[in-house]
With several copies, the nearest count.
Chain A
Amino acid sequence: MTALATLPPAQFKSELKPIWCPGCGDYGVVQAIYRALSAIGRPPHEIAFISGIGCSSRIPGYTTAYGFNTVHGRALPIAQGLKLANPDLLVLVAGGDGDGFSIGGGHVPHAIRRNLDLTYIVMDNQVYGLTKGQLSPTSPKGLKTVTSAYGSLESPINPLLQVLSCGAGFVAQSTPADMPGLAAVIEEAIRYPGFSFVNVQSPCVTFGEEDQQVKAHKGRMQSLASKGHDPADYLKALELATHYGVELYTGVFYRNPNPPATYDAQVRERQAELQKTAVPRERILEMFQKG
């Protein structure tokens, strides 16, 4: 593991030109990631950035880290296998609200309960951008889209509350409307030793609603710090999270003050312990010898 405090943010920007729509919130997210990674100081080749499919999931390609733009909804499992096989890497996972909480929603509770040292960033734009404007699981009830001509009939999910209820050790939210805050929570999430989650309210300028644009965010956002929230207070975090979709809280909802051992750390320990008892690979069949 190398740590260089001197890598400028530009060092993390790749040559691939983003093909997001002009004004898309994801531009802000990738900028914040450059800044956070610069602050962390790990060189790009020690970082792996895994995503699913969606506009937001294009993000790894715009960094100089190793990237894997996998399939829709499966970034978390792929990232976990990678991290377990290579615990020294800094592993980032990112994607959209649909990628993460619709098709990929089944993987979230399990990634959390395993508690690998990963950072998961969701660009929550309350819509399906890449496929051109369908409902997403965080779309507000009643929203009219190409798949809900007469308004959606279902309530949105609450990603913050769900992730908290699954036991994530670090849960935060931000928006590109607050670039320093966004970069700061991403950095803090990376530094948290265990599974960390950042929900970014990242506007879709093409298919998103008015009240979801940067301008509206600027008016609505309230930092949790300014409200005096103590991120060690789990029950309070649950309560604050219930306001998702109504209030736009930014900052850290919850940071486990006593982070438990990560899965990857436990695995290393187990490997170290059991390694002594191994028969050489070449003689592995001897255990089937009946005497």
Chain B
Amino acid sequence: MRDIVIGMAGSGGDGIVSAGESLIAAAASLGFHAMMTKSFGPQIRGGESSCRVRLSTRELHSSGGALGVAIALNWEDFLKFGSELRCDDATVVIYEAKTGVLPEHIPLGNIKPREIMAVPLAELTKQSAGTEKAKNSLVLGLLSGWLGLSQDTLRKGIQRRYGKKGEEIVNGNLRAFEAGRQYADAHPSQTPLRLDAPAAATTKILTDGNDITAAAAIFAGCQFFGGYPITPSSEVMQFLGKEIWKYGGAVLQAEDEIAGIGTAVGASFGGKKAMTATSGPGMSLKTEILGLATIAELPLVVVNVQRGGPSTGLPTKPEQSDLYQACFSAHGDVLRPVLAPTSVADSFHCTVDAFNIAERYQTPVIILSDQEIAQRKETCDPIDTSKLVVEDRKRPTPEQLEKYTRFAASPDGISPISHPGMKGGAYLAAGIEHTESGAPSASGAVHARMNDKRFNKLLPLESWSGAVTVAGDAGADLALIAWGSIGGVALEVLDLAQAEGLRLKVLVPRLLYPVPKEVYRSFLRNVNSGLVVEQSHQGQLYKILRMELDLPKGLVSYCRSGANPIQPSEVLAKLKALSADARRSLS
């Protein structure tokens, strides 16, 4: 096996997520590529919980499709996760024997799994550890056995995880692990489940999108974060609240999202790199001050970790339905760069890019992450940060400070920016329209000039080399476009397509807005048909592309509301149908 997805579900107390975390940590240190997503019921405590862990010897782009191994600690909880824990006829199903359900009666509807094993999980745990609490370690033991994962590494992980709780607990868990391992040895699976050795056994970075975004902000020189907690973005603030002080920065938990972005704008006015992070409802509240940053030409990075909407919507589920808002929420004419990371590792790069763009162009920049990327754990190869450039805003020279004009016209539309404390640089910043010097003005001529300045300074961005990632067969007339976490799905579709000999090319934009028109045009030049795939009801990127480009008639939107995972296989099927149609219509 080179690639497997394990899905598990149980009640809050079952430690199913903790088993997943131990598993992925071990996998990372063994050099596997791995990805883990979690999902919970609506309860804060004691509800159902689940996780999916995907392990592979090759680079991964998505959390995968149907489960290779399904582990149900009880069926009621397992079923609550619906398509998030989809089984098919290749799945090996393992479940708690004490549920009393007969293998031939497991409640998976029409699905006939490849193999079904009822294991007395609770009983084995009790026997070995003396308490059922160690069930997660027993499950680890089972998986270690069946997948052939290093016992030592997993054992070390257990020691680390429970070390603080005392020897007794550590030993209980180790005994449960051993019991699981022995059970697996005694009951080998019919299905081959053993994982191949990873290509290079180098230790990977293991983290999630939110934490790495926060780390990237520090790397990029962020000195201030102001924000308000909201799922699924709170971890950005929480990480910075631990780390940023070490770098002379500060975090302020504001009274609301308006104050959150307000403090960040204040810090930026003060000459410091600043950030805020939130999710949809918070973005809606930040709209007004975002516009202030645009007209006052202040650098600012705003992270929106998308969840399901509208309104409070589905706070813990992924969706890509805030793109319109990111591009168009402002009153007045505003052009505001929007970036979307495509993976956990790319969240690092995207954040550094966002700070660079914000500083270079003196503009707010939105990072449109999503719950999937933000909260999934993922292995990444170490990043060579010495290759990365960190930019700072253009500050006035001493000569310019002699007669300083804050919004002075310049060929690239970028005016050197002073900040309080800088002698000679005092000016009036404002949300009101202003002349070059910053004086308020209601003149139509001044307004037109300033709108030109604010729009034109961003033109170079459209030819930014980081704007898109392109993969696949450059000569293909069949195209696939997707962004954010679904960008990863698209790359997996490409793998599948190549395996089937289907000629396909893929474009994953990282700069969603302004639309890098020339890049798309050259990508689409010989395209007849294809899909723009999105996790949203409306297919917002597709519509935005139509605004700016004449798309090939055969390039259509494929989209679906959030919390309904989009599977590589279904996209492939749709692509095949399209390409067949296109061929028919040509012949």
Contact = CB atoms under 8 A, between A and B. Distances in A.
A–B touch (CB < 8 A): the answer is: yes
Interface of A: 16, 19-22, 43-48, 50, 53, 55, 60-61, 64-74, 76-86, 88-89, 102-103, 105-107, 109-110, 114, 128-132, 134-135, 137, 146-150, 206, 267, 270-271, 274-275, 277-278, 281-285, 287-291
A18 B150 CA distance: 43
B497 interface: no
Interface residues on B, range: 35 or more
Interface in B65-79: none
Interface in B251-269: 251-260, 262-269
Most buried by B among A44, A78, A147, A267: A78
B427 interface: yes
B289 A71 contact: yes
Residue of B260, B269, B311, B432 most packed against chain A (CB within 10 A): B269
B281 to A, nearest CB: 6
Contact of A85 (B211, B231, B250, B253): B250
Nearest to B427: A66
Contact of B270 (A85, A130, A148): A85
B496 interface: no
B255 A105 contact: yes
B141 interface: no
B269 A68 contact: yes
A85 B267 contact: yes
22 contacts: A16-B428, A16-B439, A21-B45, A55-B44, A68-B430, A70-B430, A71-B431, A72-B281, A77-B226, A78-B262, A79-B266, A80-B266, A82-B270, A84-B263, A85-B250, A89-B420, A103-B255, A106-B259, A134-B229, A149-B241, A271-B245, A281-B219
A56 to B, nearest CB: 12
Chain B: interface secondary structure? mixed
A74 to B, nearest CB: 5
B426 A129 contact: no
A222 B203 CA distance: 59
Contacts of B272: 85-86
B163 interface: no
B252 A81 contact: yes
Contacts of B311: 71
Interface string B428-446: 1111100000011000000
A21 B44 contact: yes
B258 A77 contact: yes
A274 to B, nearest CB: 4
A95 to B, nearest CB: 13
Contact of A81 (B207, B255, B265): B265
Nearest to B224: A85
Most A CB within 10 A of own CB, among B44, B267, B296, B419 = B44
Given A81-B267, A82-B267, A85-B267, A19 B47 contact: yes
Interface string B73-106: 0000000000000000000000000000000000
Given A78-B262, A89-B270, A206-B44, A45 B423 contact: yes
Given A131-B234, A288-B205, A46 B420 contact: yes
A114 to B, nearest CB: 8
Given A46-B420, A284-B219, A290-B28, A84 B238 contact: no
A46 B263 contact: no
Nearest to B259: A77
B247 A77 contact: no
Contacts of A72: 281, 312
Given A45-B422, A86-B270, A282-B386, A74 B229 contact: no
Contacts of A80: 252, 259, 262-263, 266
Nearest to B246: A278
B414 interface: no
Given A16-B439, A45-B423, A86-B272, A148 B253 contact: yes
B410 interface: no
